[in-house]
Structures are given as C-alpha cells and as structure tokens.
Amino acid sequence: MENRSLIIAVAILMLLIGFSAGYFFGMSSVAPAEEAIEPGAEEEQPTGPVEEAGLTGTVKIGVVMIGSIAPRELPPLEEWVEEEVNDFLKEIGYDFEIDLLYENAERSSDLAVEKVQTLHAQGVQVILGMRWSSSIQKSYDYVVENNIVVISEGSTSPLLAIPGDTVFRLPPNDLLQSRALIQLHKDLGTEAVVLLYRGDAWGDGLRNEFRRLAQQEGIVVFDEIRYSPEATEFSGEVASLADKVSQALQEYEKVAIQTFVFDELANILQQAQDYEVLFQVPWIGSDGTSGVDIIIEDAGELAAQTIQLSTIFAPTESLKHQQFVEKYVELTGFEPGVYTKCFYDSVWLAALSIAAAGEYDGAKIAEKVPLVAEKLFGVTGWLLLDEAGDRAAASYTVQMVVQADGGYEWVRVASIDALTGAVSWVQKPDFSQFGW
C-alpha cells in the first residue's frame, strides 16, 4: 500500500494553503520529524486494488456529542463536511466514503461511555466529538483496550496528555492555557486569587497546573472551592466564595476570582447577586466560559459588571479559516466557535488517516494520525501534534462580555503571544471600580 500512501500524501498537500510559523508555547513538546527513507530502502511495494484493503463502500465514523444548552454547535456541519470529504476522496481515487453516526450524551460523562460502547458494537473504530475531558477519562480504558481512535475537538485536560494511546486532541492541552492565564494575571497586576472550579478531569487539570505556575510567578492562590460537575444549584459554593474573597481582601489589594467552569457560570452569577463583595473583584474565566451564549442570555449584565475575561485557544488566521467562517455565517447567521472549527478539522484528519492506513483498523489508523496531522493545515491552522497526541502549539485570545445594541456580547479584547507571554490589548478593561 506504499503507492496509496504516496497518493494520500499528495492529497493532503492539496489541502495546504500555506503555513505561518507563528509563536508557540512549549516548543520542546514538538515531536521530531521522522528520518527520511533512503531511495531503494523501502520494502517491495504491493500492488492491487483498494478493495483488498477493505476500503470500499461506507466507513462509519462515530460522533459523541456531549449535548449542550446551546445545541447549535455542530449543525450544519453534519452534511457539509461529509459532502466535502467524500467528494475529495472520490476525486483522488478512493472507493470508500465516510458516514458520521451521531450520538448525544446529554451532558453526562457516564452516558458518553455507553455511547462509545454502542458505536463500537456497530463496528465503529474512530470516534469524534468527546468534547468534555471527563467523557474521555471515564471511557479511556475501554477506548484504549479496544484500539478505538478518539479525535476530540474540545478536550484539554493535562491529565489526559498520555503518550502512546489512541486518543488525539485538536485543541492544545491546558498546560498551555494555564501559562496564558498566568500571563494575563501578571499583566493585570493580580496579587491573589480565589479559585472556583469543576471537580472533573478538566477542572482538576487546570487547577493543578494553574496553582503550580502561580506559585512560581508569585501569585497567591488564597483559597479554592471545588464542586461536583453534576451540580445544578450553587448557593453553598457561592456563599463560601464570598467568605473567602472577603478574607483575601483583608490581606491583599488586588484580588481576583479565577473560575474553571462551564455554562453553569450563568447560574453562579445569578446567585452571586446576594453578595456585594463578589462584585468588588474581577472574575477571570477560561475556555469553559469564553463565548458561551447562555452566559450572555441569562447573566449578561452580571458578567459585564464583574468584567468577565476568559481565555480561549486562537486558530491561526488564514484564508482557509476566513472562507470557513464566511460559509458558516452564510448558512447559519452566526459565527462558529473554536471547537466547531476543531470538529471540522477532526473529520478531515480522521478520513485522511483512515485512507493512509489503507484499512479500517483502529490500531493502524492511530499510527497514521500524527503523520497526517503533521502535514495537514486545517481551518484552525497547522494540526501538528505533540508526543501525547495533543496540539503542539497555540496562542490565546482573551474575550470579555460588554454591552452592545441594548444587549450583551462577547468581544475579543486581547491576545496573548505564545512565545513571549506578552498580552496585547485591543480594549483593556477599566479596573478602577475594583480599586486597581
């Protein structure tokens, strides 16, 4: 199948529209390039039609959607990306097409495990989606034992940065985001923070790395509150948060609340109204809250009052990215989020890795994913993976909730240079209301 590998390599190059080296955190994590094979050193190339490798007909690729209060994230990609990929495979001479099989985990990591098993029972060897790190963590043993390839568009927990497994993640893991957050706090002049975070793989991973880096940089983690990811009511946590912030303000002038939460922030902010002290300090979030619609809809004014800043991985600006966004807006009327863009890239990465493997076998496909990713420039940029199978490099955008047109919206207010850590402000918030 070496001749087929050559074809897929050329095909991948057709997808490249150019590459900007950019700036990276953690360049040491980039895997070294493979040594070139000397001419004549390769084994004799077998010949024969694709049918002998089993790549004919329809290849099923699973998608486990975690489910969301705002379930508009993936459509209309369901038909759009399938059509694009299948047209491309046909154009370059393959006799198979992909079919995306969607399962909804209904915001439950336990149910996500069942969905993975259901798809595997149908012969699925590659699963996309799996946006929550907790979903991957709970299904991890089953996935690895059965050589199921998982390509996640949203998981970022450092706890899942495990070399040699069959799990790949297109966002960078939160070792990088934690560094970006620390740089943001340093630029703002934060002296101490109180942490509020989800007690799951994602929240625990961010908390651990943030605390480690904060200690190195002289930022005090005054106290912390961990809550169950199944929680829907937060009165106890909010009361505790108010108490800890009050204590911190007795010792430090510049205190911030650092949250590692999801869209439950809307509920948390609503309950925070009972505590004046919680509106006397800024709130800093992460990719769990950045750009989330439900926060705007249910707590936009409160988020603006607390100057809710949140970081998120920033795709590389390119013509390919621009064209994707324009097409998405034309079809839907709204802009796609970063994880929607990562999902689009994950479909291409999966399909081309299957083609490169030459057969629908999880173990063999897993071997090809890093090789294909190294050559692929997607709508989010270069898909190069590190030794743990996570995106090797990234920069971050800072978003903030502001009032606009009688309502509220998320806007980009800064970027964080991934090499130097410098924060470049487009619109720096006024922290004078907090006495900063």
Pick 49 or 250 by higher pLDDT. 250
Q: Which of 267, 271, 309 is nearest to 397 (CA)?
A: 309
According to the model, what pLDDT value does residue 30 have?
34
Distance between CA 119 and CA 107 in Å, rounded? 18
88 burial via Cβ count (<10 Å: 0-12, 13-18, 19+) = middle
Mean per-residue pLDDT over the chain, rounded: 87
According to the model, what pLDDT value does residue 420 have?
80
According to the model, what pLDDT value does residue 417 have?
83
Pick 9 or 222 by higher pLDDT. 222
Q: Is the pLDDT of residue 38 over 80?
A: no
DSSP string for residues in 229-254: TT----HHHHHHHHHHHHHHHHH-SS
According to the model, what pLDDT value does residue 356 have?
97
Cβ contact 323:378 at 8 Å: no
Give the residue-averaged pLDDT of 411-415.
96
Q: Is the pLDDT of residue 28 over 90?
A: no
Q: Is the pLDDT of residue 107 over 90?
A: no
Query: pLDDT band at residue 68, thresholds of 50, 70 and 90?
Result: low
The per-residue pLDDT for range 312-368, each reduced to its tens digit, is 999 999 999 999 999 998 888 888 889 899 999 999 999 999 999 999 999 999 999
Tell the residue number behind the tokens 């980039």, with chain if given: 30
Query: pLDDT band at residue 20, thresholds of 50, 70 and 90?
Result: very low
According to the model, what pLDDT value does residue 63 have?
94
Distance between CA 352 and CA 339 in Å, rounded? 20
CA distances to 285, 287, 316, 377 from 313, in Å: 13, 7, 10, 16
CA angle 104, 101, 52 (to 5 degrees): 150
According to the model, what pLDDT value does residue 405 have?
84
Map out the domains of the chain with their CATH numbers: 2-36+45-173+316-382 (3.40.50.2300), 175-314+395-434 (3.40.50.2300)
According to the model, what pLDDT value does residue 46 have?
40
Tell the residue number behind the tokens 């790395």, with chain if given: 209
Among residues of the chain, what percentage have pLDDT more than 90?
74
Q: Is the pLDDT of residue 277 over 70?
A: yes
According to the model, what pLDDT value does residue 42 have?
42
Among residues of the chain, what percentage have pLDDT more than 70?
85
254 burial via Cβ count (<10 Å: 0-12, 13-18, 19+) = buried
Query: pLDDT band at residue 54, thresholds of 50, 70 and 90?
Result: low
